[in-house]
Amino acid sequence: MQILIDLRYATPPLVNVIWFLLVASQNDSAFDLLSDSLPVSTSILVFFALFVAIKLMGIFLYFSVEIPLTPHPVCLRARGFSIAFFISLLASIFLPSSVFLVTYLFIVVTVPWHNKLFHQFICFLRLFAITIQAIGQHNHEIPAQAPPTPPPQVLELQV
């Protein structure tokens, strides 16, 4: 029996930790990682980390690196677009660490059912679209009202 670990799912926690460290280094001067080295702005490091995250996302969205726990060769496979990995990468960038860990664990635990869940989501979207189309379009026109006639003007003449 061959047991494989997909290394794609190890990158979102790493991206989240790097992102957390870079944000923390910007907010706290005591946590500055570059205090004794060259005067490099931490914003450059943030952009570099985002660049690396985008490159990892581009590579790992389509390719998986599987490392066996049993004595077998390492596999590099093109598996197609992985929605779960894409969502976990977005969550690692935009969510704080505590919320990300809960989201990430949910994504990893539900991996065997992603195809079924995705199929149910597509069915829900189709039913929603059919329901929206079934709702009749009602056009109510308000008839134009004639402007009110002004009261007659009466002139009183005195002789």
Concatenating the DSSP letter of every residue in 75-137 gives: EEEE----HHHHHHHHHHHHS-HHHHHHHHHHHHHTGGGHHHHHHHHHHHHHHHHHHHHHSPP
Taking only the tens place, the pLDDT of each residue in 38-67 is 455 666 766 777 777 777 767 777 777 777
C-alpha closest to that of 49 among 30, 24, 79: 24
pTM for this prediction:
0.52
Domain range annotation of the chain? 4-119
Taking only the tens place, the pLDDT of each residue in 78-133 is 766 677 777 887 888 788 888 888 888 888 888 778 788 888 989 999 999 988 88
pLDDT at 123: 94
